[in-house]
């Protein structure tokens, strides 16, 4: 059986043109997906059932037992953390928010360690953006800044930019220029028309210089800015101003380097300035296939995209205080529910030391680095493979993932709903 | 079977011809019925003003740009926070509250049906997801067609039937309710950083004019026999002197439907400006209202501006960019491929500002100068003119000349010479308010036959009971009592259940979403049209099979099927 137009649950591109060949309830071939997507569809070794750590051994337990364990753990915690959410569907994220509200917990998602700074910048200056198809059909200039799509979002170039056919471009490959700005010559830089190599930590200065040039203050620019020559800066600024439609896509090379959210703020203000001359947009290269979805869900339910603390009863938001890394590093948190993410592979050592000391339940289809830190792991269906659900593409377009296999695994939503139902049975003040 | 008897209600139900009669309302299984058994639960309304549940015919409460308004505004979220309590979830926000915040606050004001004014088809799933977290109101979404490539091409080819066919396919696919045109043609031009100034400018590349778009889409709308008319946000919003553009647009509209208007013009306050610049900016509410008074085919809503902080959000992307250049705060924009766009900026309307003071006056003038309340509905284009929680104040302003004068004394001193408001004596009565906030909205949206906006047997039992005894309150003098009364119902009943009581929401709702599915002949089924399919596959970034909104997204689906002339 071939499932057409399946949706890839790997990265923020959320490609929805995948063909998956299934034989005997097993994926045997995948067409159109990139290597990352294909590996995900082909599957990895999965846990057969929930497991409980007893001393240093894993013991098989039932779903009912695992769910009860998690509910009790969260109910008895004083400062529970519900973290992750970018690797699951929106319906599950909604249950997560209700749960956090009920137990006065903190709910945070992986954007607090990736595009959190982008969100902080947007909250200061806004966001001139668009859907990916607008870029595909119109853009004659695309800038990748601190992002390397060939490695991280392999089909971004073929579906939306460099190699994509566009309605308003006669010959898209020839008529569209690509600029790459990075600290090192990446694979993506190799296929760019212009490569701007910045000294590490120099993004803010380069953005400021470009803004000044666009504002007509070219005289103020020194001979080089963070390793970039004045000539190149002027050339890039002119390319931007003379583009009919320009698009900037930035990654963690801009959000997580020196300057952090101020870099993004500067980049957005550069784009706002360019809009006085031509049409320009800017967007974040979101990593996980539904990390943007968890920002969306959190926002319509609580008002804030990440790092939401319900300990006061109301939704309270103060990134740097109410975000997962900070709560763990301060050793505040006394129980953690991890859903669809792998903090052990990404968080600072100090956080992990604390994670190892508190009860942790993980919902994930696969064992990962966090498994080593958890007391119970509950295997679940993989959204987009054996469960359906909503995911938001990096540009905010929601797509319903398809189910290509049938399994007995419960979905994240089912597990969390059962957990929430148990928690609601407890009398609350 | 559940039964409820509302006793001693002082009912104003304009669609049923009831005006202040003290009577009982019998409710069974969510519907108004002739009578109920003795076992029915009783709610004693003891002579309080009782009306059909409020209907907001134009608001922005759910969807991509609304959520982005929240996302970019933590300061707005801090301005209105409530904890989880009883059946109520925690809420945040003032001008763009969370979905629960919207739902509870509307419910406490007696509103039971809401029309989201602008949904981009490609992102419709998002709107429906948020609808399911807006539990206490029935919802519907106007769908944006202003920059739709298929439609622009069909108009260029002079093929109105194809325009209708594309609308039919899209509305069914995205589960939309009505047709929305926002700055027709201007949103497409904006994807090149341009705009159209009024209805005669050609749209870049497509070479059709806004006038052609408006006329063709209005005709297509009637070919499909949609319950609602075209919902138009005119070109050139917010610019001095734009009233001529508004009149020009209104002049394009023939009278094509006996049951309802042919055009719903939205937030007309923003389109009723005189002057040649900000220095001689003035009100042109009189020519606009006079024109509408002579044209039964047009219904408008006020788009009232109220002083204070809010967030503006519209599919009119170029307008928001211009406004950003005036305000210098923050600006978000979101263009949607092949379809439309949107922009968002926060604003503060100030009494000390002359332009803002004139804007405030214009909305009130439109309502007071339009003879028939059925032709001018009460909205703020929430949250653009003001958050909807200001509705009770607007009602009081319309009912009391004394209140208007008191407020007028606090605004910019030069306003008097620029607006006719001080000379207008009219004070609206309770019945007219009922028309402007429910009966008129139901008729304009074409949902009265579906049991909305009235309390006759068979209607949905959506009822608002306000703590106001209309024979004991003189709205002309006691305007504060009017504001208080409309701010918090004694009871809000939604589909036969008491959902709110004196400011407290009591149950989780069971809302429904209304949408339309026009039936067209095989030849006009765009799902089978090779050219439509080919272009879809080449230029959208979502596969055609993944585009339609699945049934899973509508918790309670109310599909309206129409027989199209296609």
Report residue A351 as tokens.
């956080």
Residue A429: pLDDT over 90 = no
B196 Cβ neighbours under 8 A, 6+ residues apart: B183, B185, B186, B189, B202, B203, B209, B210, B235
CA distance B442 to B450: 9
A137: nearest CB among B333, B337, B542: B337
Of residues B97, B122, B543, nearest to A131 (C-beta)? B122
Identify which of B89, B337, B345 has the shortest CB distance to residue A133: B337
Is the confidence at residue A74, as pLDDT, over 70?
Answer: yes
- CB of B465 within 8 A of CB of B500? no
Question: pLDDT at residue A43 above 90?
Answer: no
**Candidate from A275, A303, A390 with C-beta closest to B70:** A303
Instruction: Report the greatest alpha carbon distance in chain B.
Output: 69
How do A228-229 and A224-225 pair as beta strands? Answer: antiparallel
Interface test with chain A among B73, B130, B335, B508, by most A beta carbons within 10 Å: B335
The residue behind tokens 């009790």 is: A72
Shortest Cα–Cα distance, A290 to chain B (Å): 13
Sheet holding A245-250, edge to edge: A194-197, A177-182, A141-145, A245-250, A279-284
Tell which of A315, A383, A394, A427 to mutate to test the B interface (max B CBs under 10 Å). Answer: A315
Interface residue of A131, A141, A169, A278 to substitute, partner B, most B CBs within 10 Å: A131
B19 beta partners:
B12
Q: Which residues of B touch A102 (CB under 8 A)?
A: 84
Interface test with A, best of B333, B346, B536, B554 (most A CBs within 10 A): B333
DSSP structural state of residue B41: E
DSSP-based three-state secondary structure for A197: strand
Q: Report cis status (omega within 30 of 0) of the bond before B383.
A: yes
Q: Do the Cβ atoms of A315 and B77 come within 8 Å?
A: yes
Which candidate, B334, B341, B323, B64, places its Cα nearest to that of B189? B341
Instruction: Say whether A275 and B193 touch across the interface (CB within 8 A).
Output: yes
What is the dihedral sign for C-alpha A163, A164, A170, A176? Answer: negative
In angstroms, the Cα distances linking A288 to A12, A111, B66 are: 5, 9, 24
Domain boundaries, chain A: 44-113+289-425, 116-284
- Mutate which of A392, A398, A420 to test chain B, going by most B C-beta atoms within 10 A? A398
Quick: pLDDT tens for A321-339.
999 999 999 999 999 999 9
A425: confidence class by pLDDT, cuts 50, 70, 90: very high
Handedness of CA B80, B84, B85, B86 (dihedral sign): positive
User: Which of the 8 DSSP states describes residue B445?
Assistant: H
Q: Which residues of A touch B338 (CB under 8 A)?
A: 133, 137
Closest CB from B82, B90, B543 relative to A310: B90
Task: Report chain A residues whose CB lies below 8 A from the CB of B334.
Answer: 127, 129-131, 396
CATH number of A44-113+289-425: 3.40.50.740
| Inter-residue contact A120 to B325 (CB < 8 Å) | no
- The answer to whether the CB atoms of A313 and B129 lie below 8 A apart is no
Hunting for tokens 């700055």 — which residue is that? B183
Is A301 within 8 Å of B100 when comparing Cβ atoms?
A: yes
Dihedral sign for Cα atoms in the order B162, B163, B166, B168: negative
The CA distance from B225 to B171, in Å, is: 13
Write the pLDDT tens digit of every residue in A253-284. 999 999 999 999 999 999 999 999 999 999 99
**Chains A & B: contacts with CB separation below 8 Å:** 183
Q: Which residues on B lie below 8 Å from A122 (Cβ)?
A: 71-72, 332
Nearest to A128 among B91, B101, B331 (CB): B331
Question: Do A246 and A309 form a contact (C-beta atoms < 8 A)?
Answer: no
**Distance (Å) from the alpha carbon of B244 to chain A's nearest alpha carbon:** 27
Q: Which fold has domain A116-284?
A: Dimethylsulfoxide Reductase; domain 2 (3.40.228)
For residue A184, give the 3-state DSSP assignment.
coil
Which pLDDT score, from 0 to 100, does residue A427 have? 74
Alpha helices in A87-180 (DSSP H): 90-102, 116-125, 132-138, 149-152, 156-159, 172-175
Write out residues 512-551 of B within 8 Å (CB-CB) of A. Answer: 538-543, 545-546, 550
B93 phi/psi in degrees, rounded to 5 = 105, 150
Tokens found for residue A153: 């979002």
The yes-or-no verdict on residue A428 having pLDDT over 70 is no
Asked whether the beta carbons of A114 and A253 are under 8 A apart, the reply is no
Residue A343 pLDDT > 70: yes
- Report residue B224: phi and psi, to 5°: -90, -10
Q: pLDDT digits over A205-249, tens only?
A: 999 999 999 999 999 999 999 999 999 999 999 999 999 999 999
Phi and psi at residue A227, in whole multiples of 5°?
Answer: 85, -5
Say if the Cβ atoms of B333 and A278 lie within 8 Å: no
Residue B267 pLDDT: 98
ipTM of the complex: 0.97
Average pLDDT on A180-194 reads: 97
**Smallest Cβ distance to B90: which of A101, A133, A400?**
A101
Within 8 A of B323 by CB-CB distance, chain A residues are none
Check if the beta carbon of residue B166 is closer than 8 Å to that of residue B150: yes
Contact B337 A101 (CB under 8 A): no
Residue A76: partners with Cβ closer than 8 Å, 6 or more residues away? A335
Q: pLDDT 10s digit of each residue in chain B, 566 long?
A: 799 999 999 999 999 999 999 999 999 999 999 999 999 999 999 999 999 999 999 999 999 999 999 999 999 999 999 999 999 999 999 999 999 999 999 999 999 999 999 999 999 999 999 999 999 999 999 999 999 999 999 999 999 999 999 999 999 999 999 999 999 999 999 999 999 999 999 999 999 999 999 999 999 999 999 999 999 999 999 999 999 999 999 999 999 999 999 999 999 999 999 999 999 999 999 999 999 999 999 999 999 999 999 999 999 999 999 999 988 899 999 999 999 999 999 999 999 999 999 999 999 999 999 999 999 999 999 999 999 999 999 999 999 999 999 999 999 999 999 999 999 999 999 999 999 999 999 999 999 999 999 999 999 999 999 999 999 999 999 999 999 999 999 999 999 999 999 999 999 878 999 999 999 999 999 999 999 999 999 999 999 999 999 999 998 999 999 999 99
Q: Is B221 on the interface with A (CB under 8 A)?
A: no
State which H helix or E strand residue A142 sits in.
Answer: strand A141-145
Q: Please, which residues 109-168 of chain B have a Cβ atom closer than 8 Å to chain A?
A: 122-123, 125-126, 129-130, 133, 149
Say which residues have a Cβ less than 8 Å from residue B475's Cβ, sequence separation at least 6: B396, B399, B400, B427, B429, B430, B481, B482
Q: In whole angstroms, what separates CA A307 from the centre of its chain?
A: 14
* Pick from B82, B321, B334: CB nearest A129: B334
Roughly how many angstroms between the first and final C-alpha of chain B, as a whole number?
Answer: 42
> Which residues from chain B sit within 8 angstroms of residue A130, using beta carbons?
191, 333-337, 341
- For chain A, the three-class secondary structure string (H helix, E strand, C coil) is CEEEEECCCCECCCCCCEEEEEECCEEEEEECCCHHHHHHHHCCCCCCCCEEEECCEEEECCHHHHHHHHHHHHHHCCCEEEEECCCCCHHHHHHHHHHHHHCCCEEEEHHHHCCHHHHHHHHHHCCEEECHHHHHHHCCEEEEECCCHHHHCCCHHHHCCCCCCCCCCCCHHHHCEEEEEECCCCHHHHCCCEEEECCCCCHHHHHHHHHHHHCCCHHHCCCEECCEEHHHHHHHHHHHHHCCEEEEEECHHHHCCCCCHHHHHHHHHHHHHHCCCCEEEEEECCCECCHHHHHHHHHHHHCCCCCEECCCCCCEECCCCCCHHHHHHCCCCCEEEEECCCHHHCCCHHHHHHHCCCCEEEECCCCCHHHHHCCEEECCCCECCCECEEEECCCCCEEEECCCCCCCCCCHHHHHHHHHHHHHHCCCC
Helices assigned H by DSSP within B263-400: 285-293, 317-327, 354-369, 391-399
Q: Say if B72 is an interface residue toward chain A (CB within 8 Å).
A: yes
Interchain CB contact of B200 with A (< 8 Å): no
Per DSSP, the three-state class of A384 is coil
Across the interface, of B74, B90, B330, the residue whose CB is closest to A313 is: B90
Long-range contacts from B409-413, C-beta under 8 angstroms, 24+ separation: B410/B351, B411/B351, B411/B357, B411/B360, B411/B361, B412/B351, B412/B352, B412/B353, B412/B354, B412/B356, B412/B357
Q: Please give the Cα distance from B329 to A315 (Å, whole number).
A: 25
Query: CB–CB of B99 and A127 under 8 A?
Result: no
8 Å CB contact of B83 and A102: no
Residues in chain B closer than 8 A to A137 (CB atoms): 337-338, 539
Using the beta-carbon criterion (under 8 Å), do B546 and A303 form an inter-chain contact? no
CB-CB contact of A123 with B72 (8 Å) = yes
A293 to chain B: nearest residue by CA?
B126
């Amino acid at each position: 059986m071939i499932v057409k137009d399946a949706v890839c649950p790997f990265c923020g591109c959320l490609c929805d043109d995948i063909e998956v060949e299934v034989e005997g309830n097993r994926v045997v071939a995948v067409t159109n997906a990139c290597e990352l997507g294909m590996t995900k569809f082909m599957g990895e070794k999965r846990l057969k059932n929930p497991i409980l750590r007893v001393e240093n051994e894993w013991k098989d337990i039932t779903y009912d037992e695992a769910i009860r364990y998690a509910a009790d753990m969260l109910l008895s915690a004083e400062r529970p953390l519900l973290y992750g959410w970018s690797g699951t569907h929106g319906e599950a994220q909604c249950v997560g928010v209700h749960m956090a509200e009920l137990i006065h917990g903190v709910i945070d998602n992986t954007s607090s360690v990736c595009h959190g700074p982008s969100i902080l910048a947007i909250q200061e200056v806004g966001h001139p953006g668009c859907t990916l198809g607008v870029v595909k059909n119109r853009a004659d200039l695309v800038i990748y800044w601190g992002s390397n799509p060939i490695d991280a979002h392999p089909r971004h170039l073929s579906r939306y930019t460099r190699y994509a056919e566009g309605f308003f471009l006669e010959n898209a490959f020839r008529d569209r220029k690509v600029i790459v700005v990075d600290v090192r010559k990446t694979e993506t830089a190799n296929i760019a028309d212009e490569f701007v190599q910045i000294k590490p930590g120099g993004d803010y200065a380069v953005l400021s210089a470009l803004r000044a040039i666009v504002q007509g203050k070219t005289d103020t620019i020194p001979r080089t800015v963070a390793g970039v020559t004045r000539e190149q800066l002027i050339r890039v600024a002119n390319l931007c101003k003379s583009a009919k439609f320009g698009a900037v896509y930035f990654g963690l090379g801009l959000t997580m380097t020196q300057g952090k959210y101020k870099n993004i703020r500067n980049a957005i203000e550069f784009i706002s300035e360019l809009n006085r001359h031509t049409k320009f947009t800017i967007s974040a290269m979101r990593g996980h296939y539904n990390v943007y979805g968890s920002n969306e869900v959190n926002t319509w339910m609580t008002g804030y995209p990440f790092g939401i603390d319900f300990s006061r009863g109301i939704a309270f938001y103060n990134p740097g205080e109410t975000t997962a890394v900070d709560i763990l590093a301060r050793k505040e948190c006394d129980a953690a529910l991890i859903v669809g993410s792998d903090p052990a592979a990404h968080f600072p050592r100090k956080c992990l030391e604390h994670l190892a000391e508190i009860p942790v339940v993980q919902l994930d289809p696969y064992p990962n680095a966090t498994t080593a830190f958890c007391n119970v792991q509950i295997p679940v269906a993989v959204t987009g493979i054996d469960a359906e659900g909503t995911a938001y593409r990096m540009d905010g377009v929601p797509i319903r993932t398809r189910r290509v296999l049938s399994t007995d695994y419960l979905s994240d939503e089912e597990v969390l709903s059962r957990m929430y139902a148990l928690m609601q049975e407890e009398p609350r003040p | 079977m559940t039964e409820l008897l509302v006793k001693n209600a002082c009912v104003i139900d304009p669609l049923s011809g009831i005006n202040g009669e003290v009577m009982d309302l019998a409710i069974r299984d969510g519907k108004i019925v002739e009578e109920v058994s003795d076992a029915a639960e009783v709610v004693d309304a003891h002579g309080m003003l009782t009306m059909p549940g409020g209907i907001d015919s134009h608001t922005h409460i759910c969807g991509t740009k609304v959520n982005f308004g929240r996302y970019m505004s933590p300061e707005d979220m801090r301005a209105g926070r409530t904890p989880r309590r009883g059946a109520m979830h925690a809420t945040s926000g003032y001008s763009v509250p969370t979905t629960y915040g919207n739902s509870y606050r509307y419910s406490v004001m007696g509103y039971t049906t809401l029309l989201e004014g602008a949904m981009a088809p490609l992102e419709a799933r998002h709107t429906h997801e948020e609808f399911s977290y807006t539990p206490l109101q029935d919802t519907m979404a106007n769908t944006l067609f202003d920059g739709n490539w298929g439609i622009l091409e069909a108009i260029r080819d002079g093929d109105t039937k194809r325009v209708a066919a594309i609308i039919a396919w899209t509305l069914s696919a995205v589960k939309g309710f009505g047709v929305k045109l926002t700055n027709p043609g201007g949103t497409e031009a904006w994807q090149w950083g341009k705009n159209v100034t009024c209805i005669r400018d050609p749209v870049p590349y497509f070479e059709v004019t806004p006038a052609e778009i408006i006329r063709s889409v209005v005709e297509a709308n009637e070919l499909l026999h949609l319950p609602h008319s075209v919902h138009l946000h005119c070109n050139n919003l917010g610019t001095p002197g734009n009233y001529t553009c508004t009149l020009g647009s209104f002049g394009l509209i023939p009278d094509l439907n006996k049951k309802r208007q042919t055009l719903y013009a939205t937030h007309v306050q923003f389109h009723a400006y005189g002057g040649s610049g900000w220095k001689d900016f003035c009100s042109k509410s009189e020519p606009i209202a006079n024109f509408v008074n002579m044209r039964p085919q047009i219904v408008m809503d006020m788009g009232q501006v109220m002083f204070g902080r809010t967030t503006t959000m519209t599919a009119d992307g170029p307008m928001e960019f211009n406004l950003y250049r005036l305000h210098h705060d923050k600006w978000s924009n979101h263009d949607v491929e092949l379809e439309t766009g949107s922009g968002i900026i926060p604003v503060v309307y100030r009494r000390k500002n002359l332009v803002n003071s004139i804007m405030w006056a214009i909305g009130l003038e439109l309502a007071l100068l339009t003879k028939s309340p059925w032709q001018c509905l009460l909205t703020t284009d929430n949250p653009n003119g003001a958050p909807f929680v200001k509705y009770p104040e607007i009602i009081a302003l319309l009912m009391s000349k004394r209140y208007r004068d008191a407020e007028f004394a606090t605004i910019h001193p030069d306003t008097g010479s620029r607006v006719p408001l001080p000379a207008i004596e009219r004070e609206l009565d309770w019945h007219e308010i009922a028309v402007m906030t429910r009966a008129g909205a139901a008729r304009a949206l074409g949902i009265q036959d579906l049991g909305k906006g009235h309390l006759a047997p068979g209607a949905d039992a959506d009822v608002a009971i306000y703590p106001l005894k209309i024979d004991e309150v003189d709205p002309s003098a006691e305007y504060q009592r009017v504001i208080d009364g409309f701010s918090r119902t004694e009871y809000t009943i939604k589909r036969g259940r008491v959902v709110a009581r004196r400011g407290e929401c009591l149950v989780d709702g069971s809302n429904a979403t209304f949408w339309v599915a026009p039936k067209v002949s095989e030849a006009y089924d765009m799902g089978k049209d090779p050219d439509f399919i080919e272009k879809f596959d080449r230029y959208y970034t979502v596969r055609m099979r993944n585009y339609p909104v699945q049934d899973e997204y509508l918790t309670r689906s109310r599909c309206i099927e129409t027989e199209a002339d296609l």
